[in-house]
Amino acid sequence: MTRAIYEFTESFRIAFSQIRANAMRSVLTALGVIIGIVAVTLMGTAINGIDIGFNRSLALLGDDVLYVQRWPWRRVPDWWNYVNRPAIQVEHAERLNRIFEATPNSLLEVAVPVGARGSSVKAGDVKLGGIMLFGTNADYSRIVTAEVADGRLFTDFEANAGRPVCVLGSAVAENLFPGRPSLGQSVDIRGQQFSVVGVLAKQGEFLGLFSFDNQIILPLNAMRKLWGNRMDLQLRVKVTDKTRLMEAEEELTGAMRRVRGQLPAERDNFSINQQQAFKEQLDPVKTGIAVAGLFITGLSLFVGAIGIMNITFVSVKERTKEIGTRKALGARRRTILLQFLIEAVSICLIGGAVGLAITYVTCLGISGALPELPVEFSSSLMLVSMVVSILTGIISGFAPALGASRLDPVDALRYE
Amino acid sequence: MIAPLPPAAAARSYRTPGNLVIRIEGVTKLYRMGAETVHALRGVNVEIRRNEYLAIMGPSGSGKSTLMNMLGCLDTPTAGRYDFNGKNVAHMVDDELAEIRNREIGFVFQTFNLLPRSDALHNVELPLVYAGVGPAERRERAFEALRNVGLGDRVHHRPNELSGGQRQRVAIARALVNRPSILLADEPTGNLDSRTGEEIMALFEQLYDQGNTIIVVTHEEDIARHARRIVRLRDGLIERDERS
Ligand SMILES: Nc1ncnc2c1ncn2[C@@H]1O[C@H](COP(=O)(O)OP(=O)(O)O)[C@@H](O)[C@H]1O
Ligand SMILES: [Mg+2]
């Protein structure tokens, strides 16, 4: 056992003096491994980054909220089955809430009606376009994903009475009232003055599509005074246990069908959406990156492995006499095998380390240039690339090392 | 640094041969080269005891190296019996032979065969690595072996920083570091000038006096004369076996 350890350290010692002596040759040989490791780690980082960015965006939707809407969050080929669906109504929320209360152990906590529409708003001579207005009631406080940075959300009374009050997204507040506190100011929405009672904390963009900070929340009843029913109404339903979203969705489907009075044979005339739908859309993108990355990785590792196999064969040939000498001094087969395997693995490990360093610097560069991109260099990637490097070394070094270990000592000693 | 040569006329020491180390009986070795068969050894019998100093001589092609490889457990006979310290090694496999070479045999080669990128100390340590000796003891013993061959002040020199004679001394230290039963030297002076060659032979003399068993293969009478016994080979057979 101790002998194995001594032979192991001896092998590393030889391997490194060998690599140092043939530095240029070793680096060139390791090139394939370097490229392979860069490819696999960059791919991993990209997928990781997409996941992180995506999850950040999805968190804005709330990971414990189901959305009841006319349309599903995915492309539907049979659009004609959806256009004639009845509109979602505010009183659906009230009736759902009564059902939730009457159901023992309900997974559903509360349904909140939210009307949405885009509009422009004004304050003084500042005019902002493309603002998302969300009209809702006081229950909104139970499903809101943002912190209220300043002030408050509106009260039950304000909501029911349709009082002209509003809560601003952080970007709206900054743009309308730069450098001034926005609480107590008023905002002109379609000619009506709304007074600001709260400001939300910064939330960020959703999938880079639109900013959650460009929204204004106001009482749904106040919004209806301005637009009537010309808005997109949805119900947001908070789930008590987000690990049981599927069951919650089933319960909600049943409750919604009861509210709508649907017959058992009828298909649902509403859709229940959740962030999961987005995740499924992203999967092919991730798969695409993974396939391309693995292809490049596989190809360069293959080329690298052949290079290393070749260099190990050359090394064995060059040192045939040394092998003979070592055998004469008592090196056993496995000792020689180990020595050349470790040499191949060491070259690969150095290649892997260089590859990792390149990826690391690239990641630093990217996150320096584009701070909003979630590039993260994970330790599991390091582990994966080390394992891949070692495996490449073992696979490519095995044949030449085995050949070396089986050399006849007399022939090897005679070799010039 | 180098032990002074004993005067040519000085009385040589004779040690009483001890236990039997090597017994070879009816050993043959065939090499097949295509259709042709070469009889490198045709039935050799020889016994070698502890404390012997023996030279194997013979013209080129007589089978000296073949016999040497056999004695050194680098190769096994085609037929015949070979007992090393009472153990039959004629049918041992590679790794068993490696074990015997490591513990029982010290090799000295014509071309020194040192690892070029390792210093003298590490070269001498190598057999101990394969024997599973720990680092501290390894260094200690390698130092001592180098001191014993007069290279105590050269331990961190690499082979290319040493003269031919010094390289061969490192090789001799390496051969002896694991306290083998026999020291096997194949043409140890073949790559040295005659003066340096004589120095090496003086070192062998000293090692013999210290109780080592030495077998030297050579084709030079001058070298063979140092030994106490000369075995002469011709065409794969022992022609003469004489003690002086
Ligand atoms: N590996 C081998 N293959 C074929 N023939 C060999 C081999 N080794 C030695 N021989 C032959 O065996 C004979 C004895 O060789 P060797 O032992 O090297 O003689 P010496 O060392 O006395 O010069 C020679 O005829 C040589 O050609
Ligand atoms: Mg020869």
pLDDT in tens, A385-405: 899 999 999 999 999 999 999
CATH number for B7-243 (one of 3.40.50.300, 3.40.50.11820, 3.90.190.20, 1.10.3720.10): it is 3.40.50.300
CB-CB neighbours of A221 under 10 Å: 18
**B126 CB within 8 Å of a chain A CB:** yes
What tokens appear for A183 in the block? Answer: 């609480």
CA atoms within 13 A on the CB side of A298: 6
Best mutation target among A325, A326, A334, A405 (most B Cβ atoms within 10 Å) is: A325
pTM of the model: 0.74
Cβ atoms of A317 and A402 within 8 Å: the answer is no
Give φ, ψ of A271 to 5 degrees.
Answer: -120, 145
What pLDDT score does A76 carry? 81
- Give mean pLDDT, residues A288-305: 87
Report the pLDDT value the prediction gives residue B200, as an integer from 0 to 100.
94
**What is the mean predicted confidence (pLDDT) over A221-250?**
89
Write out the two tokens for A365.
Answer: 């560069």
- B62 in ligand 1 pocket by Cβ < 6 Å? yes
Q: Are B105 and B87 in contact (CB under 8 A)?
A: no
- Is B1 a residue whose pLDDT tops 70? no
Predicted pLDDT of residue B9: 40
Residue A368 has pLDDT above 90, yes or no: no
pLDDT digits (tens, 9 = 90+) for B89-139: 988 999 999 999 999 999 999 999 999 999 999 999 999 999 999 999 999
Tokens standing for residue B225: 């004369």
Q: Is B99 an interface residue toward A (CB < 8 Å)?
A: yes
Average pLDDT, chain A: 88
pLDDT at A20 (0 to 100): 87
- Other CB atoms closer than 10 Å to residue A243's CB: what's the count? 9
What residues of chain B lie within 8 A of the CB of A322, using their CB? 113, 115
Pocket test for ligand 1, best of B33, B36, B41, B66 (most atoms within 8 A of CB): B66
Q: Is the CB of residue A259 less than 8 Å from the CB of residue A95?
A: yes
Query: Is the separation of the CB atoms in B167 and B188 below 8 Å?
Result: no
Q: Nearest C-alpha to atom 8 of ligand 1 is from which residue?
A: B66
Q: Which of B192, B197, B195 is nearest to B164 (CA)?
A: B192
- Given a cut of 60, whether residue B4 has pLDDT beyond it is no
CA nearest B232: which of B244, B218, B222? B218
Please write the tens of the pLDDT for every residue from B42-58: 999 999 999 999 999 99
pLDDT for A71-85, tens place per residue?
Answer: 888 778 888 888 888
- Is the CB of residue A252 less than 8 Å from the CB of residue A237? yes
| Predicted-assembly ipTM surpassing the 0.90 threshold | yes
Q: Does any CB of chain A come closer than 8 Å to the CB of residue B102?
A: yes
Kindly state the tokens that stand for B14: 């004779």
Which of A385, A357, A296, A378 has its CA nearest to residue A45? A378
Spatial CB neighbours of A31, under 8 Å, sequence gap ≥ 6: A304, A307, A351
Residue A75's CB is within 10 A of a number of other CB atoms, namely 7
Cα separation of B175 and B169, whole Å? 10
Whether the CB of B218 sits within 6 Å of ligand 1? no
Predicted local confidence at residue B8, as pLDDT: 47
What is the rounded distance in angstroms from the CA atom of residue A97 to the CA atom of residue A79? Answer: 30
How many Å apart are CA A137 and CA A177, to the nearest integer?
25
CA–CA dist A30, A35 (Å, integer):
9
| DSSP structural state of residue A191 | T
Nearest bound ligand to the CA of residue B235: 1
Give the helix ranges, DSSP H, for B54-212: 64-71, 94-104, 120-131, 135-148, 164-176, 194-209
Residue A8 corresponds to which tokens in the numbers above? 């192991």
Q: What is the pLDDT of residue B213?
A: 96
> Among A277, A292, A281, A365, which Cα is nearest to A50's?
A281
pLDDT of residue A207: 66
Task: Return the ligand number nearest the Cα of B30.
Answer: 1
A147 Cα distance to chain centroid: 23
How far does residue B61's CA lie from ligand 2's centre (Å)? 7
The predicted-structure confidence for A156-208, as pLDDT tens digits, reads as follows: 999 999 999 999 999 999 999 988 888 999 999 988 999 999 999 988 777 66
Mean pLDDT of A112-138: 90
The minimum-distance atom of ligand 1 relative to the CA of B233 is 22
How far apart CA A217 and CA A143 sit, in angstroms, is: 13
Residue A99, pLDDT > 80, answer yes
Return all residues near A298 (Cβ < 8 A) that are at least 6 apart. Answer: A36
Residue type, A364: L
Residue B98's CB is within 10 A of a number of other CB atoms, namely 25
What DSSP assignment string belongs to A59-94?
A: HHH-TTEEEEESS-SS--S-THHHHTSPPP-HHHHH
Relative to the alpha carbon of B110, which ligand is closest? 2
User: Å from A314 to nearest chain B CA?
Assistant: 18
* pLDDT for residue A362 is more than 50: yes
Chain A residues touching residue B72 (CB < 8 angstroms) = 328
Enumerate residues 36 to 65 of chain B having a beta carbon within 8 A of any beta carbon in chain A.
none
A56: phi then psi, degrees, rounded to nearest 5: -60, -45
Per-residue model confidence (pLDDT) at position A208: 64
A333–B135 CB contact, under 8 Å: no
Q: Residue A321 and residue B113: Cβ atoms within 8 Å?
A: yes
User: Which residues does residue A286 pair with via DSSP β-bridges, in sequence order?
Assistant: none
DSSP designation for B61: T
- Per-residue pLDDT of B30-42, as tens digits, reads 999 888 999 999 9
Q: Give nearest CA residue, ligand 1 atom 10.
A: B40
Query: What's the rounded Cα separation, in Å, for the pair B114 and B158?
Result: 9
Q: What percent of chain A has pLDDT over 70?
A: 99
Q: Count Cβ atoms below 10 Å from residue A63 Cβ, excluding itself.
A: 15
Query: Between residues A274 and B179, which one has the greater pLDDT?
Result: B179
- Paired tokens of B157: 């020199």
CA–CA separation, A149 and B208 (whole Å): 95
Average pLDDT over residues A6-13: 87
Q: Could A6 and B174 be called an inter-chain contact, meaning their C-beta atoms sit closer than 8 Å?
A: no
Model confidence over B183-239: pLDDT tens digits? 999 999 999 999 999 999 999 999 999 999 999 999 899 999 999 999 999 999 999
pLDDT at A364 over 90: no
